[in-house]
């Protein structure tokens, strides 16, 4: 193999699981609607999509599966350094883009001057967001780990998972993976019992719960791949999308959540993952899956600064339920379009240039 071919192979990718990509999109859109609904209907027991925060657990499970699928057989040859650079290239441009967008929206919020109270911390807040150092500062916004772009919290844990995978998990055998997954499942159930639910990881006082969420789901995703629990099925993308979405719309009830949520994460999400991995798509269904998969990560990483604007508008103008519902529906569609533009105009070109630089570095 020539040096040029060897270098180019560093950025080579394996075929995607179209249905899993599409499910990631369904989950991302559900998260956007959920974040709107937290303001439209703050009482979770009255929200129609109160359990959509569990989409993050599904993201982690997908990540464990995809990372194991893509790198189990090639990480040793690729090298830890190149693996981590590839993960940075894939994930970090949107971390930076989301941070910039969050800063702009915070400073130029049409309905709030909250930024003035934190003007002396803006630079530190921005840098912390860009390099993903938790900085839960803004009391008025619930002490999010990353105020400028709150969803960054899950990327923080995703990076931890990727580093541990490269250093340790890629080498462990299946029996030990089983043991670690079971231990993580026990920890997840314990966190749910203590907290009453799994809405954990996004704030300074819930970081331990976020670690439990990431640990179990990432390990479970790896286990599904390594055990080859692929369920061959002829069901279509619409059916499995509903099967995932139905978890997000299960009513929110105290006492019920601490059992329903960990059971869903530990048993149901790995099942959906195994089922989705075994479905073949073609035609229009595949195009829809591909589109949803493409916009899922950009949508997840650019929507929340506008949720802050929505919150400021709600607090300042006291709109009616009907007005908020219209903004939620229209806003979700507009955010999908905006995410697509960000992906095409910024994320993809930046990643392409970074990949070219990595290939040149390895010649």
- Per the CB < 8 A criterion, the answer to whether 197 and 250 are in contact is no
pLDDT band at 15 (very low <50, low <70, confident <90, very high): confident
Read off the pLDDT of residues 70-107 as tens digits, 9 standing for 90 and up. 999 999 999 999 999 999 999 999 999 999 999 999 99
Provide DSSP, 145-184. TTTTSTTHHHHHHHHHHHHHHHHTGGG--HHHHHHHHHHH
- Which of 64-68, 157-161, 230-234, 273-277 bottoms out in mean pLDDT, i.e. has the lowest? 230-234
Quote the CA–CA distance of 251 and 52 in Å, as a whole number.
11
Nearest to 54 by CA among 78, 26, 73: 26
Read off the pLDDT of residues 121-155 as tens digits, 9 standing for 90 and up. 999 999 999 999 999 999 999 999 999 999 999 99
Predicted confidence at residue 13, as pLDDT, reads: 74
Q: Share the mean pLDDT of the chain.
A: 96
- Per the CB < 8 A criterion, the answer to whether 179 and 170 are in contact is no
Predicted confidence at residue 1, as pLDDT, reads: 45
Read off the pLDDT of residues 272-300 as tens digits, 9 standing for 90 and up. 999 999 999 889 999 999 999 999 999 99
pLDDT band at 11 (very low <50, low <70, confident <90, very high): confident
Read off the pLDDT of residues 299-357 as tens digits, 9 standing for 90 and up. 999 999 999 999 999 999 999 999 999 999 999 999 999 999 999 999 999 999 999 99
Predicted confidence at residue 8, as pLDDT, reads: 56
Predicted confidence at residue 165, as pLDDT, reads: 99
Averaged pLDDT, 19-32: 98
Looking at the DSSP assignment, which residues form a beta bridge with residue 203? Answer: 144
Predicted confidence at residue 5, as pLDDT, reads: 54
Predicted confidence at residue 282, as pLDDT, reads: 86
Averaged pLDDT, 25-45: 98
User: Domain-by-domain residue ranges, the chain?
Assistant: 15-356
Quote the CA–CA distance of 311 and 316 in Å, as a whole number.
9
Predicted confidence at residue 9, as pLDDT, reads: 67
Residue 7 confidence (pLDDT) above 70: no
- Residue 241: CA atoms inside 13 Å, Cβ hemisphere, count? 21
- Per the CB < 8 A criterion, the answer to whether 347 and 101 are in contact is no
pLDDT band at 192 (very low <50, low <70, confident <90, very high): very high
Predicted confidence at residue 72, as pLDDT, reads: 97
Quote the CA–CA distance of 272 and 114 in Å, as a whole number.
42
């Amino acid at each position: 193999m020539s040096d040029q071919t060897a270098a180019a192979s560093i950025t080579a990718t394996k075929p995607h699981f179209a249905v899993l990509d599409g499910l990631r999109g369904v989950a991302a859109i559900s998260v956007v609607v959920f974040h709107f609904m937290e303001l439209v209907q703050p009482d979770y027991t009255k929200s129609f999509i109160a359990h959509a925060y569990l989409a993050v657990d599904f993201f982690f499970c997908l990540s464990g599966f995809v990372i194991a699928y893509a790198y189990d057989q090639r990480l040793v040859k690729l090298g830890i350094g190149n693996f981590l650079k590839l993960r940075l290239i894939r994930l970090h441009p949107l971390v930076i883009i989301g941070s910039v967008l969050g800063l702009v929206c915070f400073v130029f919020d049409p309905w709030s001057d909250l930024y003035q109270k934190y003007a002396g911390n803006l630079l530190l807040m921005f840098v912390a967001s860009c390099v993903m150092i938790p900085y839960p500062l803004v009391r008025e916004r619930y002490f999010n780990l990353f105020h400028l772009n709150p969803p960054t919290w899950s990327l923080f844990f995703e990076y931890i998972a990727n580093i541990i995978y490269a250093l340790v998990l890629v080498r462990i055998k299946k029996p030990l993976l089983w043991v670690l997954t079971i231990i993580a499942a026990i920890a997840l159930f314990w966190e749910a019992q203590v907290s009453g639910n799994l809405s954990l990881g996004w704030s300074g006082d819930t970081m331990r719960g976020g670690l439990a969420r990431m640990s179990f789901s990432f390990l479970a995703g790896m286990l599904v791949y390594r055990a080859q629990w692929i369920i061959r099925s002829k069901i279509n993308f619409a059916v499995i999308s509903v099967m995932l979405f139905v978890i997000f719309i299960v009513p929110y009830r105290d006492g019920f959540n601490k059992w329903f949520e960990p059971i869903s994460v530990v048993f149901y999400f790995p099942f959906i993952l195994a089922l989705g991995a075994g479905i073949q798509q073609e035609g229009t269904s595949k195009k829809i899956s591909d589109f949803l998969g493409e916009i899922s990560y950009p949508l997840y990483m650019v929507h929340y600064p506008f949720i802050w604007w929505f919150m400021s508008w709600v607090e300042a103008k006291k709109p009616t339920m009907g007005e908020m519902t219209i903004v939620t529906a229209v806003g979700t569609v507009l955010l999908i379009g905006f995410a697509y533009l960000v992906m095409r105009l910024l994320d993809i070109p930046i990643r392409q240039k970074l990949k070219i630089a990595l290939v040149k570095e390895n010649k």
